[in-house]
Amino acid sequence: MNAPRSNERPRTWFRSDRVFLSDGTWYFHTREGVDIGPYESQFEAEIEAGLLRELMRGPDGEGNALALIREFVVESYAMGRPLTPSFSGGA
């Protein structure tokens, strides 16, 4: 089923894995058009994608997605795991 969500403009979505391998490291792609990584393993990228997804579902996630993504990346950096997000213009 490819029905758009109520807050999305109609477009083609491929709702398969959002985790992908690029140049030997793993990343995950957000609905907002941000690729987040690198991670050393697919498992690690999947876990982190799940953590961010849960943050986005919380009370602060509604309408504040890019701010939450920014906070997620900054917190990862502060914990010694620097991430290099890239924006593909999906939002």
Domain contains 9: no
Per-state percent for the chain, helix, strand, coil, to nearest 5? 35, 20, 50
Any domain includes 49:
yes
- Tell me the residue ranges of DSSP E strands in 1-91: 19-22, 25-29, 34-39, 86-87
Q: Which domain holds residue 36?
A: 19-87
- Per-residue model confidence as pLDDT tens digits over 28-62: 999 889 999 999 999 999 999 999 988 888 776 66
**Site of tokens 């690729």:** 35
- The model carries a pTM of 0.71
When divided into structural domains, the chain yields a total of 1
Structure confidence at residue 31 (pLDDT): 87
